[in-house]
A and B are shown apart, each in its own frame.
Chain A
Amino acid sequence: MSNRLPTGGRVDRSAPLRFTFDGVEYTGLRGDTLASALLANGVLTVGPSLYRERPRGIVTAGVDDPHALVQLERPHSEPMQLATTVELCDGLAAISLQGRGRLDEAPDEARYDKSYLHSDVLVVGGGPAGLAAALTAGRSGARVVLVDDQPELGGALLGGGREAIDGRPALTWVAEVRAELDAQPETRVLTRATAIGYHDQNYVLVAERRPDLPGGGGRLWHFRARQVVLATGAHERPLVFAGNDRPGVMSAAAVRSYLNRHAVLPGRRAVVFTTGDSAYATALELAAAGAAVPALVDTRPEPPAALVEAAGAAGIEVLTGSVVVGTEGEARLTGVRISALADDGSELTGPVRELACDLLAVCGGWSPAVHLWSMSRGTVRYDEQLAAFVPDSAAQAVRAVGSGRGRHDLAGCLSEGLTAGAEAATAAGFPVTAPVVPSCSGDEQPAPPRPVWLVPGEEGDPSTWRDHFVDAQRDATVADVHRAIRAGMRSVEHIKRYTTIGTAHDQGKSCGVAAIGVIAQLLGARSPGDVGTTTYRGPYVPVSFALLAGRERGPLFDPVRTTPVHPWHVRRGAVFENVGQWQRPHYYPRPGEDMDTAVWRECRAAREGVAMMDASTLGKIDVVGPDAGVFLDRLYTNGFAKLPVGSARYGVMCRADGMVFDDGVTVRLAPEHYYLTTTTGNAAAVLDWMEEWLQTEWPELRVRCTSVTEQWTTVAVVGPRSREVLAALAPGLDVSNEAFPFMTVRHTELANGVPARICRISFSGELAYEINVASWYGLAVWEAVLAYGAHAGITPYGTETMHVLRAEKGYPIVGQDTDGTVTPQDLGMAWIVARHKDFVGKRSFDRPDTSRADRKHLVGLLPVDRSELLPEGAQLVAPGADLAAVPVDPLGHVTSSYRSAALGRTFALALVRGGRDRIGDTVLAPLADGRTITATITEPVLFDPKGTRRDG
């Protein structure tokens, strides 16, 4: 059965499009939505309701449809799309959904982008009011953006037909405005673009659909506008009566839109049910299109005489002061039951009359789309005359116009738009006056509606009205609202959450205000205004995470940082680990090696021969200026002002609360030039910290800090044979212990001609050097070290070996062995805390909390079973602790744990309450898998405690 009219509509009859719905093939036209194409093919019913599995049909023609959820399969897989907003294309395939969609497992090939734009005036909505606003604002020369969610401009005029501007069809005016906007150099018009969020200081997010892209996709626009005009239109409300969810019960405005825009007649015998004027046009146009319209049911006892007369002339009986009290039919409406309603709306009066029909076009009034207005923190008020919540006071530089603020006649919408556009442009610095409002006809100021929030049932009372649907998406009824109120709820926010009304995919666009009306009625409130609205939150329509992510996914999700040596690591087959944004070699397995074996081998090379590591990710900061030494003295717990030029010193930095923040070695290169290193993950935070103190507390200090992390490549050469490798690599350097002692720096030219800054520092306890070269020489110098060390079997090692070596020496890693609650004293580093100078955090060491004897101390742990590895993070308890107690009294936790080649056993570092007073004690680590590991507490330095190895 075809419901397509032979003429009219904004569809292209020369462009038939094939599509399937639930596996059945149909044909539609270019210009159709999926919903209009289905209606044209006589398909009204979509997926059944979520909980009660009642048949449901298409209701509206836009984003507020409660039922028409589909899963798109072609051209792109998209879950939870509304058939009323999906543009038909050739080959489209969709299946109906019962409330829930499903994500496609296949990767999304669609292209999503982000764009950022500043505008003087942003106009949301391309109906008559928005077009008028954009037109005047654009004429001022201001940068204007107009966004609209439809494929073409015109708003409600697209679904009309009788409206005229300056004596010509209104859509002619729309086309002329569009042409003028396109000709304005600073104006941009975006269609298929839905404003989804309105944030602080006129920051508006707009989701643009781009079906023209080969794989589909869209663009997320971030607009910052000096002035905003909201011309968002209004949503037609449903009415709450028995059986109001039956397929065939549709929005009156949607019926009119399908007729005029898509040339589709959704029913052959239609009853219209309205609380106001607007549905009369639907009735008249249905009749004109050939449908039988036996009755128009108007809640008002005395509708405007001209409308009644026009209906009568078309053969439509107007039943005044009446309501539809019930519907008949199974999968589709077959008839309605009509009764008169008492003046106070409390009861039905008079006999019930039955009328056969296959379509009921309902207008329960109009709710301005105040969503964006409310998101901008503008207030709304209830207008008794309009029976609607309308924008009240603005919180930002924004104006609401047209039916979005309750103005429903065309001339009024144009007038408000032209004025608001002029005001907005003028306020943005582009003075302009509004032109004269053109003459309009076909859409006059409506007479006041008579809202009916709850049509009484023919039987029972609200507690039994289970077919009076309030939110059909949630199968929530008047009986559910009644139960919520009986349970003691009064706030609309509570009732919403209790009944789930307004929480489905349309977030209450269709039912929200109708629900407030029902709540007001059942609470005995004077009006819906006394109940108020729930909070409007973005996004206005559902958006996909893919759109929000844009290009920032996969490799572009977060920047990846690599060192100049990275290609070599890759070639060598390194296994990488992420350290912050850095990719660092974790270990270098040889064929057949697992991680434990590789790390064991790498550790032995460092302790017994020579090994090398890419330490370039270490944070590096140049601290320069006459007061550099004073500055570092104030930040580090130990002194740097007296550090001799050419020497290096390890330092610890604390926050003001005395907790360790970072550590690292600083070299004094010149009297006014220090070269400071930080932990890899903390480099940016340390630079921030230094700049903050310089700018906010000590602006008088003459110091500048510059990050040079990426300017230097650092190669650590480690092990008893490192000196002989360096001697060959740096022939001009006297590498003897006397000439180049521990914690000093030397500058030299390497054998390959590269200038190098070489520091004799050690993070392993072994004789070691760190060779710093300009990063563009990094790879060449790495390969040179490898070549000059080949005879000694130089072995590259990764971060895991570095961790084992440092842990064997009890060197903590800030952020692994500390967690922001650990002082230097807790780490056993009281020696590094200067007594005779002040520094950030010093005062905190005198706080009672930091002086407690039972603070957690860093200690070593040796599992009694020498091969058993404690998991990092394992909680520790005392022997005999009651493991059934909740919570178990904890002693501390394991912070680092490894297998040690040098010790020939496993070991760990841990933070243990009063740990330094428990050396030699036994602790237990009860694990989640039921095992308990027993370990002995030791000093944290387990290897070479006397430091005999550092000079080689």
Chain B
Amino acid sequence: MLLIACPWCGERDETEYHYGGQAHVAHPADPAALTDAEWGEYLFVRANPKGDFAERWLHSAGCRRWFNVVRHTVTHDITAVYPAGQARPDAHTEVTA
């Protein structure tokens, strides 16, 4: 059971959250301009690293806000939490909202 620090509510159990997959996969500004392969990449292809991973979480049973987390996929160490829309900080810098 992860302990995740929501940028707005603080530390809460994982059961209050929903997972949202890889962060920073923006909806393309002009989908029509993309090739089928590029659109397919947006739809279906995600990173699966062994190590630090920037991912989205939703505090669904709390403030209902989306935010981003950098989590190590092996150790589950969370090294950064930052609001949606912000760039990924250096993986080893603690960020507070």
Closest 10 A/B residue pairs (Cβ): A843-B31, A201-B3, A203-B1, A695-B66, A200-B76, A696-B84, A697-B27, A199-B1, A696-B66, A843-B39
- Indicate whether B48 reaches chain A with its CB closer than 8 angstroms: no
A657 to B40 CA separation, bound complex (whole angstroms): 9
Residues of chain A at interface, number, CB under 8 A: 26
Q: Which of A201, A395, A656, A692 contacts B58 (CB 8 A)?
A: A692
Contact assessment for A224 and B43 in the assembled complex, using a CB-CB cutoff below 8 Å? no
Contact assessment for A847 and B40 in the assembled complex, using a CB-CB cutoff below 8 Å? yes
Contact assessment for A695 and B1 in the assembled complex, using a CB-CB cutoff below 8 Å? no
A412 to B32 CA separation, bound complex (whole angstroms): 72
Contact pattern, B 42-69, Cβ under 8 Å of A = 1, otherwise 0: 1110000000000010101000111000
* Cβ contacts A to B, 20 pairs, < 8 Å: A200-B1, A200-B76, A201-B1, A201-B3, A202-B3, A203-B3, A203-B13, A224-B3, A395-B75, A691-B64, A692-B20, A692-B66, A695-B65, A697-B26, A697-B27, A699-B85, A838-B31, A840-B27, A843-B31, A843-B39
- Indicate whether A76 reaches chain B with its CB closer than 8 angstroms: no
- Indicate whether A844 reaches chain B with its CB closer than 8 angstroms: yes
Q: Which of B13, B27, B32 contacts A656 (CB 8 A)?
A: B27
- Indicate whether B36 reaches chain A with its CB closer than 8 angstroms: yes
Chain A's closest residue to B38 (CB) is A843
A692 to B84 CA separation, bound complex (whole angstroms): 10
Residues of B within 8 A of A846 (CB): 32, 36
Chain B's closest residue to A118 (CB) is B11
List 15 other contacts, CB 8 Å, given A699-B85, A843-B28. A199-B1, A200-B1, A200-B3, A201-B3, A202-B3, A203-B13, A224-B1, A656-B43, A692-B66, A697-B27, A838-B31, A838-B32, A842-B32, A843-B31, A847-B36
Chain B nearest CB from A14 CB (Å) reads 46
- Indicate whether B2 reaches chain A with its CB closer than 8 angstroms: yes
Contact assessment for B31 and A688 in the assembled complex, using a CB-CB cutoff below 8 Å? no
- Indicate whether A567 reaches chain B with its CB closer than 8 angstroms: no
Q: Given known contacts A692-B66, A697-B27, is B84 in contact with A847 (CB within 8 Å)? A: no
- Indicate whether B34 reaches chain A with its CB closer than 8 angstroms: yes
Chain A's closest residue to B85 (CB) is A699
Q: Which of A201, A691, A838, A843 contacts B34 (CB 8 A)?
A: A843
Residues of B within 8 A of A840 (CB): 27
Chain A nearest CB from B75 CB (Å) reads 7
Residues of B within 8 A of A692 (CB): 20, 58, 66
Chain B's closest residue to A200 (CB) is B76
A692 to B21 CA separation, bound complex (whole angstroms): 13
Contact pattern, A 201-223, Cβ under 8 Å of B = 1, otherwise 0: 11100000000000000000010
Interface residues of A in 836-887 (CB under 8 A from B): 838, 840, 842-844, 846-848
Interface residues of A in 178-204 (CB under 8 A from B): 199-203
Residues of B within 8 A of A696 (CB): 56, 66, 84-85
Contact assessment for B76 and A657 in the assembled complex, using a CB-CB cutoff below 8 Å? no
**Residues of chain A at the chain B interface (Cβ within 8 Å):** 199-203, 222, 224, 377, 395, 656-657, 688, 691-692, 695-697, 699, 838, 840, 842-844, 846-848
Chain A's closest residue to B4 (CB) is A201
Contact assessment for A688 and B1 in the assembled complex, using a CB-CB cutoff below 8 Å? no
Contact assessment for A688 and B58 in the assembled complex, using a CB-CB cutoff below 8 Å? yes
Interface residues of B in 52-97 (CB under 8 A from A): 56, 58, 60, 64-66, 75-76, 84-85
Contact assessment for B66 and A843 in the assembled complex, using a CB-CB cutoff below 8 Å? no
Chain A nearest CB from B25 CB (Å) reads 10
Residues of A within 8 A of B18 (CB): 688
A657 to B36 CA separation, bound complex (whole angstroms): 12
Residues of A within 8 A of B84 (CB): 695-696, 699
Q: Which of A201, A697, A844 contacts B43 (CB 8 A)?
A: A844
A697 to B31 CA separation, bound complex (whole angstroms): 14
Residues of B within 8 A of A844 (CB): 39, 43
Residues of B within 8 A of A199 (CB): 1
Contact pattern, B 3-14, Cβ under 8 Å of A = 1, otherwise 0: 100000000010
Residues of B within 8 A of A847 (CB): 36, 39-40
Chain B's closest residue to A634 (CB) is B27
A313 to B64 CA separation, bound complex (whole angstroms): 75
- Size category of the B interface is 20 to 34
Q: Which of B13, B32, B36 contacts A224 (CB 8 A)?
A: B13
Chain A nearest CB from B81 CB (Å) reads 13
Chain B nearest CB from A595 CB (Å) reads 38
Chain B's closest residue to A224 (CB) is B3
Residues of A within 8 A of B39 (CB): 843-844, 847
Chain B's closest residue to A840 (CB) is B27
Chain A's closest residue to B84 (CB) is A696
Residues of A within 8 A of B85 (CB): 696, 699
Candidate in B2, B28, B31, B84 with the most chain A CB atoms within 10 angstroms: B31
A847 to B40 CA separation, bound complex (whole angstroms): 8
Residues of B within 8 A of A848 (CB): 36
Chain A nearest CB from B24 CB (Å) reads 10
A203 to B85 CA separation, bound complex (whole angstroms): 31
Chain A nearest CB from B5 CB (Å) reads 11
Chain A's closest residue to B74 (CB) is A377
Contact assessment for A842 and B1 in the assembled complex, using a CB-CB cutoff below 8 Å? no
Residues of B within 8 A of A377 (CB): 75
Residues of A within 8 A of B43 (CB): 656-657, 844
Residues of A within 8 A of B34 (CB): 843
Residues of A within 8 A of B36 (CB): 846-848
Chain B's closest residue to A201 (CB) is B3
Residues of A within 8 A of B44 (CB): 657
Residues of A within 8 A of B40 (CB): 847
Contact assessment for A201 and B65 in the assembled complex, using a CB-CB cutoff below 8 Å? no
A202 to B40 CA separation, bound complex (whole angstroms): 40
Residues of B within 8 A of A843 (CB): 28, 31-32, 34, 39
Residues of A within 8 A of B64 (CB): 691
Candidate in A203, A695, A840 with the most chain B CB atoms within 10 angstroms: A695
Chain B nearest CB from A118 CB (Å) reads 9
Candidate in A657, A842, A848 with the most chain B CB atoms within 10 angstroms: A657
Chain B nearest CB from A198 CB (Å) reads 11
A203 to B12 CA separation, bound complex (whole angstroms): 12
Chain A's closest residue to B66 (CB) is A695
A840 to B31 CA separation, bound complex (whole angstroms): 10
A695 to B85 CA separation, bound complex (whole angstroms): 9
A299 to B20 CA separation, bound complex (whole angstroms): 59
Chain B nearest CB from A653 CB (Å) reads 15
Q: Given known contacts A201-B76, A395-B75, A696-B84, is B31 in contact with A842 (CB within 8 Å)? A: yes
Residues of B within 8 A of A695 (CB): 65-66, 84
Residues of A within 8 A of B76 (CB): 200-201
A699 to B66 CA separation, bound complex (whole angstroms): 11
Residues of A within 8 A of B26 (CB): 697
Q: Which of A202, A688, A697, A842 contacts B60 (CB 8 A)?
A: A688
Candidate in A200, A377, A657 with the most chain B CB atoms within 10 angstroms: A200
A201 to B77 CA separation, bound complex (whole angstroms): 8
Chain A's closest residue to B2 (CB) is A200
A200 to B64 CA separation, bound complex (whole angstroms): 23
Residues of B within 8 A of A838 (CB): 31-32
A657 to B56 CA separation, bound complex (whole angstroms): 19
A699 to B18 CA separation, bound complex (whole angstroms): 20
A202 to B13 CA separation, bound complex (whole angstroms): 11
A471 to B36 CA separation, bound complex (whole angstroms): 59
A511 to B50 CA separation, bound complex (whole angstroms): 35
Chain B nearest CB from A199 CB (Å) reads 5
A656 to B43 CA separation, bound complex (whole angstroms): 7
Chain A's closest residue to B13 (CB) is A224
Chain A nearest CB from B11 CB (Å) reads 9
Residues of A within 8 A of B13 (CB): 203, 224
Chain A nearest CB from B69 CB (Å) reads 13
A657 to B42 CA separation, bound complex (whole angstroms): 10
Chain A nearest CB from B97 CB (Å) reads 14
A109 to B77 CA separation, bound complex (whole angstroms): 42
Chain A nearest CB from B57 CB (Å) reads 11
Residues of A within 8 A of B58 (CB): 688, 692
Residues of B within 8 A of A688 (CB): 18, 58, 60
